[in-house]
Structure 1
Amino acid sequence: MSGKRSIFEEVSDQTPTRETAATGGIGRGRGGARRGVRAWLMVLFALVVAMIVVGGLTRLTDSGLSITEWRPVTGALPPLTQADWQAEFDKYKEIDQFRLMNNWMELSDFKQIYWWEWGHRQLGRLIGLVWFVGFAGFLVARKIPPGWTGRLLIPGLLGGLQGAIGWWMVASGVTQGTDTVSVASYRLALHLGLAFAILGVLGWYVLLLGRDERSLMQARRARDCKLFGMGTGLMHFAFLQILLGALVAGIDAGRSFTDWPLMAGGFFPPEPFGLSPAWRNFFENPGLVQFIHRISGYLLLIFGLVVWLKARRSANPHTRFAFNAVTAALLLQMVLGIVTVLYVAPLHLAILHQLVAVLLWALILRARFLAAYPIATSVRG
């Protein structure tokens, strides 16, 4: 027997359903194609890492001046005939690097260094194309998450600036009659520094897009401001060390003093201020440049250990682990630096040293991000 019904109840043959409360209002409708954009940025990140490695190999093989002209569009095609190859070789013969350092080269030798520089420039063109196609595609499809259009423009603008700085760097070595056989070291440092800056922007965006807006807003409430500030300082210090490393590479200072922990038997290198005017020594004196790079490396390690001790007291296990990884990479990088010097900077060790710098940079970014946006963990662990 059915129970009594209220006189205010609406009669219907359908069974009444109860609506559930909507959740996730902060992030609903604001996601865009976060996963797709993140995957695109990860591809760009990998390409920039490859660009840094190929650029390092181009520098270590002294191939960067093999192409003496900047042709952003027509330069995408390599020489296709024997006459084209000879024409490129003849242009190279006109610069000081060939006259003073590589006048023994035949056409077959020239082709080897030409392919390194052509590959480096071609990879730059590929990165620009991948950025443009991805950005335009997401923009036309209206899949860019709200507030991200301006952000996603930044890597493209920085990439265009990087191409211009790359030619500005090469132009410093394409000389006649000045006895210059390599690019200016400070321009090389700026070129490499901007590459790491682009890598940092891409990496930070990838980390942000890995979590939805609601998760990020909740995580910010638990931010460890002190650790985040120290992580930011470590990031800046590591960036300075990368610039100093580029100065060392630019003048082959790593092959000038091959003993450690001393330099030519003393704490200071001989004649650290032998060049005039004095400011040139900080960029062009192999002894002083390598000495500054060494001392900066020691100080970076000490500061890294201080940050690590602070991170050990973090209540978040993911953050602690991230800074553990940074410290491990920092120790590895220092050992690699010492070994590279002792073995007179052979190609494989020098490029490995640069690659670990990329790894360390990425790990510092991740640790800094987790200090700013800690991952929530259960009290039970």
Structure 2
Amino acid sequence: MATKPRAIFEEVGTVQRPATVTGAIDRGRSDSRRWLRLWLIALFALVVVMILVGGLTRLTDSGLSITRWDLVTGTIPPMSASDWQAEFDLYRASPQYELMNKGMTMPEFQQIYWWEWGHRLLGRVIGLVFIGGFLGFLVARRLTAGWTQRLLMVGVLIGLQGVVGWWMVHSGLQDGMTSVASYRLATHLGLAFAILGLITWFALLLGRRDTELLTARRQTERRLFAGATGLMHLSFLQIILGALVAGIDAGRAYPTWPDMAGGFLPPEPLSIEPIWRNFFENPGLVQFIHRMTGYAVALLAVVVWLRARRSPHPATRTAFHWVLGAVAIQVVLGVWAVLSMAQLHVAITHQAGAILLWTLVVRGRFLARYPVATTIRGRA
């Protein structure tokens, strides 16, 4: 069949083309991504508060005030004088009371009890918010198989965190213990930051449509992404080391900087037998390793930032400006914590700085993986 000649002035572009096929989560309800993202942001905020309250619970030595793990009945605090006395009697049978707080009054006990109760209540709230939201989205059929698996991973980690929390507290109730085992505290905090990182990454994914993400992935800045991944891993290690420092109160051991008691190394860094225990239990050596790793994080952050400056994407460059700024603030807070012998307000600010830095590093890594496309005029 002969093709009809096209007129000279015939308009082009009038033929309808099929719409771009979107990802499965983009089909159907147009607000699915938005509601999922809002739910994850709410979980993010709760986990941040949980980490800060957990830090204050540790810094006030409140974590062993509740000696039982009652998942349901433990939600209700003591409501009468007899209830308070029963809780106090349980605490007075613990090693921490005998070795550190003997003679504590009821008001003093109530003060540390509320910190630990609040920390556990937050954990229950996070669990309920996750279960309620996940089941709601599942019943409403707003989840695809891929997102169901991703969110289930977050849920499993949240459940595991509750078990690790009790495993940590249980270690502090053993004979001769006045606080929880530092390596169990580090595991507990590390898992909290892993959950926070996953939630951040998934919320960032939901902030952009699947088609946009597929296009952006083709523009991945591989060397910058690799550098950001390395910085993320090193920052995570530094967070774990910070928990070890907090677990044995190593932050109060050598309140001088940049030296440690007048030298580069602390005195007797390998005084505990067997030698490997020094890396977990020697306050001087643990603080020294935390300091050196902090310097390494700062150095790597500068290297990654220099690479990010060459990125053609303004959003990526800006993201790593923020990362470098957060690293600088965290270094200053770390030095301040050392010089102040880890005073409560300084130590918790330092922990808040770690949350900020961790979130910004994850975001910078995301933008290196999925750059925001810009026009010649620099518009997204």
State whether TM-score is above 0.5. Answer: yes
> Aligned in 2, Cα 1:28/1:272: closer, same or farther, shift over 3 Å?
closer
1:56 partner SS: helix
Code of the residue aligned with 2:35 in structure 1: it is: G
Equivalent position of 1:114 in the other structure: 113
Code of the residue aligned with 2:219 in structure 1: it is: A
Equivalent position of 2:263 in the other structure: 266
| 1:80-127 superposed Cα distances (whole Å, 9 cap, x missing partner) | 111110011011011111111111311111000000000000000000
1:25 matches 2:21: yes
1:367 matches 2:348: no
Equivalent position of 2:163 in the other structure: 164
Residue 22 of structure 1 and its aligned partner are, at CA, apart by 3.4
2:374 partner SS: coil
1:1-381 map, 5 Å: 20-27=16-23, 30-31=26-27, 33-145=32-144, 147-175=146-174, 178-381=175-378
2:165 partner SS: helix
CA contact (8 A) 1:275 1:281 kept: yes
> Aligned in 2, Cα 1:111/1:28: closer, same or farther, shift over 3 Å?
closer
Whole-angstrom distance in 2 between the partners of 1:65 and 1:322: 40
Whole-angstrom distance in 2 between the partners of 1:344 and 1:281: 21
Aligned residue pairs, count: 362
Identity between Structure 1 and Structure 2 (%)? 60
CA contact (8 A) 1:65 1:182 kept: yes
2:63 partner SS: coil
Residue 154 of structure 1 and its aligned partner are, at CA, apart by 1.1
CA contact (8 A) 2:65 2:116 kept: yes
Residue 28 of structure 1 and its aligned partner are, at CA, apart by 7.3
Residue 21 of structure 1 and its aligned partner are, at CA, apart by 2.9
Question: Structure 1 residues 201-210 or 98-107, which shifts more?
Answer: 98-107
> Aligned in 2, Cα 1:105/1:29: closer, same or farther, shift over 3 Å?
closer
> Aligned in 2, Cα 1:28/1:63: closer, same or farther, shift over 3 Å?
closer
CA contact (8 A) 2:95 2:178 kept: yes
Code of the residue aligned with 2:41 in structure 1: it is: M
1:154 partner SS: helix
Residue 20 of structure 1 and its aligned partner are, at CA, apart by 3.6
Question: Structure 1 residues 94-103 or 146-155, which shifts more?
Answer: 146-155
Code of the residue aligned with 1:104 in structure 2: it is: G
Whole-angstrom distance in 1 between the partners of 2:24 and 2:296: 47
Whole-angstrom distance in 2 between the partners of 1:146 and 1:20: 32
Residue 379 of structure 1 and its aligned partner are, at CA, apart by 1.4
1:148 partner SS: helix
CA contact (8 A) 1:34 1:144 kept: no
Code of the residue aligned with 1:26 in structure 2: it is: T
1:147 partner SS: helix
Code of the residue aligned with 1:69 in structure 2: it is: R
| 1:45-99 superposed Cα distances (whole Å, 9 cap, x missing partner) | 0000000000000000000000001111111111111111001101101111111
| 1:327-374 superposed Cα distances (whole Å, 9 cap, x missing partner) | 000010000000111011111110000001000000001100000000
Whole-angstrom distance in 1 between the partners of 2:145 and 2:99: 56
CA contact (8 A) 2:25 2:142 kept: no
Q: Give me the TM-score of the superposition, normalised by structure 1.
A: 0.93
CA contact (8 A) 1:34 1:145 kept: no
Question: Structure 1 residues 29-38 or 91-100, which shifts more?
Answer: 29-38
Code of the residue aligned with 1:36 in structure 2: it is: W
Question: Structure 1 residues 140-149 or 266-275, which shifts more?
Answer: 140-149
Code of the residue aligned with 1:131 in structure 2: it is: F
Code of the residue aligned with 1:187 in structure 2: it is: R
CA contact (8 A) 1:67 1:88 kept: yes
Whole-angstrom distance in 2 between the partners of 1:104 and 1:284: 28
| 1:270-328 superposed Cα distances (whole Å, 9 cap, x missing partner) | 11111111111111110000000001111111111111111111111110110110000
Code of the residue aligned with 1:103 in structure 2: it is: K
Rg bigger for which structure?
1
Whole-angstrom distance in 2 between the partners of 1:28 and 1:276: 58
Residue 145 of structure 1 and its aligned partner are, at CA, apart by 4.1
Residue 27 of structure 1 and its aligned partner are, at CA, apart by 3.8
Whole-angstrom distance in 2 between the partners of 1:257 and 1:179: 25
Residue 29 of structure 1 and its aligned partner are, at CA, apart by 7.0
Whole-angstrom distance in 1 between the partners of 2:104 and 2:25: 62
Runs of 4+ in 1 over 6 A off after TM superposition: none
CA contact (8 A) 2:251 2:342 kept: yes
Whole-angstrom distance in 2 between the partners of 1:169 and 1:80: 27
Whole-angstrom distance in 2 between the partners of 1:350 and 1:133: 34
> Aligned in 2, Cα 1:28/1:199: closer, same or farther, shift over 3 Å?
closer
Code of the residue aligned with 1:24 in structure 2: it is: T
